[in-house]
Amino acid sequence: MHFNDIQRVPSDPILGLIEAYATDANPNKFDLGVGVYKDAMGLTPILRAVKLAEQRLVDKQTTKTYIGGHGQTSFGTLISELVLGKDSPLLAAKRVGATQTPGGTGALRLCADFIADCLPGRGIWLSDPTWPIHESIFAAAGLKVSHYPYVGSDNRLNVEAMLATLNQIPHGDVVLLHACCHNPTGFDLSQDDWRQVLDIVRSRDLLPLIDFAYQGFGDGLEQDAWSVRLFADALPELLITSSCSKNFGLYRERTGALIVCTDSAEKLLDVRSQLSATARNLWSNPPDHGAAIVAEILGDPELKTLWMDEVEEMRSRIAQLRAGLVEALTPLGLGERFAHIGVQRGMFSYTGLNDDQVAKLRYEHSVYLVSAGRANIAGIDASRLSLLAQAIADVCHD
């Protein structure tokens, strides 16, 4: 048989939890696995702005024909403005181009293949730890993957160690940075830290790739873009992967972009010709529906305001859940131990729980976390915070 030698591989470290959670019969289960926002009802609803935009699209769309390798121009322009700021001089100078991709993950894969094809010999440097799919995507594209320290075994951000390693990266290599809401830890760099990273990137002539998957979930839509804009203003070249999965709630529509900043409008055309050729081999044309929704929202002042309010609603709810969990852990003597949950940003928290404790939470309390203790704070049911705190206390005091 042709398939005889094919071995089974373990399920995805994050997506595998969806199925495990769904089949757990415990009515008191908690899904803190995959990074999906849930509201007070425990649902991941379609945003109101998205629903309205979809309705408009149903009425006015006249074709489903191909949209070309870079996707819709309006989406590309609007997403670039959202990321870089409407007044970015790069936009006026035509030094920015967005390629529509199937989600932020698609943008990362396109970027990985672009680096492998067009910048041969460049390695990529990832934070330790990082989103596990960063590791596999760049390895799959054939890049040499290395790491710079980020959060150590003491569950603290170690900027000194990070900078020391960045200072030794070979000239020309690519360094992947998380713009905000670091996945999986939730620990973000301060503005001063970012400036120091920028100095090193510049002095060592590194090529930054900024992964921007959670715009609006940290401190706000504009605030979260601060680091990206710092780099875009200071450097001649930059790669940015942007995702609309979380802030537009378009998870399954697979909507994202690879945004490239070049030192001239002419060079942008060269780079984009390569990106479109690479995308042709990956998915030919990008999926359109999600991007059309985003363009409809960002291009309409009323819908945009509604959407911005909804993002703010999600952001502040996550912040409240962070504070609420620390508060619920405090009477159990764990407030100080888990105080970092209130400091971290975005959906995720590196809780500091070890793999044994994560396993106990799952098998004894039906609380699902990703390995290494990553909890999706945005998935917590606020009405059962004390139950969750009790389960955490049980595994900590064991």
- Contact residues: ligand LMR, CB under 6 A: 14, 34-35, 131, 133, 183
Between 75 and 214, whose beta carbon lies closer to ligand LMR?
Answer: 214
Q: Is 23 helix (H, G, I), strand (E, B) or coil?
A: coil
Between 114 and 368, whose beta carbon lies closer to ligand LMR?
Answer: 368
User: In sequence order, which residues have a C-beta less than 8 Å from that of residue 199 and are 6 or more positions away?
Assistant: none
Between 14 and 141, whose beta carbon lies closer to ligand LMR?
Answer: 14
Which of 246, 355, 351 shows the shortest CA–CA distance to 32? 351
Between 35 and 129, whose beta carbon lies closer to ligand LMR?
Answer: 35
Which of 165, 247, 236, 238 shows the shortest CA–CA distance to 213? 247
Between 69 and 106, whose beta carbon lies closer to ligand LMR?
Answer: 106
Q: Which residue's CB comes closest to ligand LMR?
A: 35
Distance of closest approach, residue 33 Cβ to ligand LMR, in angstroms: 7
Residue with tokens 């959060």: 151
**Among the options 125, 131, 194, 307, which is catalytic?**
131
Quote the tokens at residue 207: 């090529």
Task: Give me the phi and psi of 177, to 5 degrees please.
Answer: -125, 145
Between 35 and 76, whose beta carbon lies closer to ligand LMR?
Answer: 35
Beta pairing, strands 348-350 & 256-261: unpaired
For every residue of 140-197, DSSP letters joined together read HTTPPEEEEE-B-TTS-B-HHHHHHHHTTSPTT-EEEEESSS-TTT-----HHHHHHH
Between 72 and 351, whose beta carbon lies closer to ligand LMR?
Answer: 351
Beta pairing, strands 30-32 & 367-369: parallel
**Among the options 113, 125, 173, 246, which is catalytic?**
246
Distance of closest approach, residue 318 Cβ to ligand LMR, in angstroms: 14
User: In sequence order, which residues have a C-beta less than 8 Å from that of residue 260 and are 6 or more positions away?
Assistant: 96, 97, 98, 99, 238, 239, 240, 268, 271, 272, 275
**Among the options 113, 173, 188, 211, which is catalytic?**
211
Taking CA atoms, 10 is separated from 13, 357, 398, in Å, by 8, 20, 29
Distance between CA 314 and CA 310 in Å, rounded? 6
Tell how far CA 79 is from the center of its chain. Answer: 15
| Whether 64 is catalytic | no
Distance of closest approach, residue 296 Cβ to ligand LMR, in angstroms: 24
| Whether 131 is catalytic | yes
Host H or E run for residue 13 = none
| Whether 24 is catalytic | no
Quote the tokens at residue 164: 């020391």
Quote the tokens at residue 360: 């106990």
Distance of closest approach, residue 319 Cβ to ligand LMR, in angstroms: 19
Beta pairing, strands 238-243 & 96-101: unpaired
User: Which amino acids are annotated catalytic?
Assistant: 131, 211, 246
